[in-house]
Amino acid sequence: MMSVLNDYKCPAHGYFEAREPVCPHGCTDVQVVFLQPVAMKSDTTKHNDSTLKKLASDAITELAALSKRLSEDPRTRRPFLKLTKEVHPDLPVPEIEIEERTTQALSAAEKRVQSLEAKLREKDAREELARRRNAIKEKGLAGTDQDIAEIEKIMVDKGIANHETAADYWQWMKQSAAPTPSGYPTPVMSRMDLKGYMKNPVAAARENAAQALNELRKNPRPIGL
C-alpha cells in the first residue's frame, strides 16, 4: 500500500514533501508539519509551490534577499511595488494605490483649472474687443456696426492689429475713393497761364509746379494707394 504524501521540515534544508520522513539531502532529523490544506490552495498557489519546490533552497534564499533589498531601497521600492501590483493585481499595495488615486485626483483638478482659465481668457478677449470697438466709435472713426465690420476686415487683410490704426486707414481709403466735383480731372492746359509762359517760361513753369504740389498736399493718400 502506498504511503501518504506529507509535509516535513528539515532543520538544515527547510520544508519538503515526501512519503517517508527523509530529507532529499538524506537528513532523517525531520518533523512533520501541517501547511495550508490542499483544498484551500488556488491554482496560482499550486503553481508557485511547484515552481519553488523545483528550486534549490539557496536559490530561494537569494531571491528572498533580492526582493527585500528592492523593497527597502528608496531608488527601487516604487518600481518594485508597481511591478508586483502588475503581476498580482489583487494584491493590496496601499502605497501604490494611494499614489494612483492622488494622481488621478490631481489630474482631474488640473483639467478643471485649465478649463476655467480658458473661459476667463475668452471672456477677457470679448470684453477687450468690445472696448476697442466702442473706443473708435467714441472718437468718431466709425459710426455703425457695418463700419466696424469693414474696419476689422482691413485689419485681417492688411495685418493691422490696432483698431484705431485700421480705422484711420479706412478713413483714408474713403477719402481717396471720393470723386471730384466735376467727375473728371480738369485738363492741364486749361489751368496753365499761357500768357505767363509767353513772357517768362521758366517762372511760369515754377509757379505751375508749386500749385500742383500744393494740391497734392491738400489731399494726401496712404502709402500703397
Q: What is the pLDDT of residue 7?
A: 85
Q: Indicate whether 189 pLDDT > 70.
A: no
98 or 220, which is more confident?
98
Q: What is the pTM of this model?
A: 0.36
Strand runs labelled E in the chain = 6-10, 14-18, 31-33
CA dihedral sign, ordered 100, 103, 104, 105: positive
Q: What is the pLDDT of residue 51?
A: 66
DSSP reduced 3-state for 171: helix
Task: Judge residue 18's burial from the number of C-beta atoms within 10 Å of its C-beta, 0-12 exposed, 13-18 middle, 19 or more buried.
Answer: middle
CA distance 152 to 65: 74
Q: What is the pLDDT of residue 94?
A: 82
β-pair partners for 6: 18
Strands, sheet with 14-18, edge to edge from the N-terminal-most edge strand: 14-18, 6-10, 31-33
β-pair partners for 119: none
CA dihedral sign, ordered 216, 218, 219, 223: positive
What is the average pLDDT score of the chain? 77
For 36-59, how does the pLDDT look when each residue is reduced to its tens digit (9 = 90+)? 554 455 566 666 666 666 666 777
Q: What is the pLDDT of residue 197?
A: 53
Q: Indicate whether 29 pLDDT > 60.
A: yes
Q: Where are the domains of the chain?
A: 1-54, 106-178
- SS3 for 86-145 is HHCCCCCCHHHHHHHHHHHHHHHHHHHHHHHHHHHHHHHHHHHHHHHHHHHHHCCCCCCH
